Amino acid sequence: MSAEFPVARPRRLRRTPAMRTLVAGTHLHPSQLILPVFVKEGLTEPNPVASMPGVVQHTRDSLLKAAHDAAEAGVGGLILFGIPAVKDARGSAGDDPDGILQKALREVSAEVGDALVVIADTCLDEFTDHGHCGLLTPDGEVDNDATLQRYADIAVAQARAGAQMVAPSGMMDGQVAAIRSGLDGAGFADIPIMSYSVKYASAFYGPFRDAAECAPQFGDRASHQQDPAGTAGEALREMRLDLAEGADLVMVKPALAYLDIIAAIRAEAEVPVAAYQVSGEYAMIEAAAANGWIDRERMIMESLVGIRRAGADLILTYWASEVARRL
Ligand code: PBG
């Protein structure tokens, strides 16, 4: 028989679901997902976050229920954010042993700490009355060096409360080293640090600031978070500095608009790479779905597969429990 056209037929491997599954190159597993959760002091009922349909500010009770749900679904980790009743300039609630986040860490770790990894977000913006991620100078600038000791104290308070991992998100230079030495000095040499190493000054955090009640009261975070137009080299440098300071995992945030950065980081990192599918990424899909404009479930799965394919080993996503159940 004479040669036919076309000779190559890539469609052969796409014909049936079983065939496609057999040759899939990217796999999502529940254990690769981390669920971010918010707990607010003094709440009596869970409080829905308007800009994040399906996400709530938890009471301590509803948080425990969400933690059990996540554990049952096989989710790999939970990352906790606390919203205190009272905020001040130095974010005192952040390292108060009786602060809301510490109470929640204690309870969640006791309940589900064997089934998944309980992670604390280590930052000041939820705890400060001005909403910035650090202490301020008299001129209202975020004071990098003065903030480092606060982060170390917060991380130690979190570890004492039962955090099994801490995740500094404030983008202060030297924060990983400061936290590492604080933890080591307090007897927590075994607690790993997942650093938000590569974090952009992003509009995609908008809904989170409602959820965590941490919008800066003036100015923005552009003086410490990375410029979205910055080079991949800048991202690699942030990663290398954090690894040299002792980070055990590195994170890229946001995810969807930074897939190239995730790929670049994955290619260089010798540690697990996490990516944070942030609040604005969640809100976009939920809003379009609520309007009936998109296929919600397919879009969620496709976005997560894309983030994995770019190179993320772990994904922080508000859909973690739902997706884990579906997998
Ligand atoms: C800071 C922090 C932020 C997010 C996680 N940790 C907000 C910010 O940097 O302004 C955003 C997460 C999201 O948008 O889902 N503690």
Number of domains within the chain? 1
Q: Ligand 1: does its nearest atom lie under 6 Å from the Cβ of 156? A: no
pLDDT of residue 4: 77
Query: Is 162 inside any structural domain?
Result: yes
* Cα separation, 120 vs 118, whole angstroms: 7
- Dihedral angle computed from the Cα positions of residues 101, 200, 281 and 79, in that order, rounded to the nearest 10 degrees: -20
- The share of the chain scoring above pLDDT 70, in percent, equals 99
Residue 74 lies in a domain: yes
Assess whether pLDDT exceeds 80 at residue 3: no
Look at residue 12 and tell me if it is in a domain: no
Q: Find out whether the beta carbon of 213 lies less than 6 Å from any atom of ligand 1.
A: no
Mean pLDDT of 268-275: 98
- Is residue 4 domain-resident? no
Its pTM stands at: 0.97
The per-residue pLDDT of the chain, averaged, comes to 97
- Separation of alpha carbons 86 and 76, rounded Å: 32
122 belongs to a structural domain: yes
Tokens of residue 198, six digits = 């590569």
Distance of CA 112 to the CA centre of its chain: 19
Evaluate whether residue 45 is within a structural domain: yes
How many angstroms is it from 208 CA to the middle of ligand 1?
6
| Active site amino acids | 199, 253
Asked if residue 3 is part of any domain, the answer here is no
CATH of the domain at 65: 3.20.20.70
Query: Each residue of 12-61: pLDDT tens digit?
Result: 999 999 999 999 999 999 999 999 999 999 999 999 999 999 999 999 99
Confidence check: pLDDT of 1 > 60: no
Q: What is the ipTM of this complex?
A: 0.96
Kindly give the number of the ligand 1 atom that is closest to the alpha carbon of 221. Answer: 10
pLDDT per residue as tens digits for the range 105-141:
999 999 999 999 999 999 999 999 999 999 999 999 9
Among protein residues, the one with the nearest Cα to ligand 1's atom 1 is 169
Domain assignment present for 1:
no
In this structure, the residue with its CA closest to atom 10 of ligand 1 is 205
Choose among 248, 260, 257, 264: nearest CA to 168: 248
DSSP string, 243-293: HHHT-SEEEEESSGGGHHHHHHHHHH-SS-EEEE--HHHHHHHHHHHHTT-
Q: How far is it, in rounded angstroms, from Cα 126 to Cα 212? A: 6
Does 205 contact ligand 1 (Cβ within 6 A)? yes
Structural domain of residue 39, as residue ranges?
A: 28-326
Q: For residue 46, say if its preceding peptide bond is cis, omega within 30 degrees of 0.
A: no
Q: Is the dihedral of CA 135, 202, 168, 80 positive or negative?
A: positive
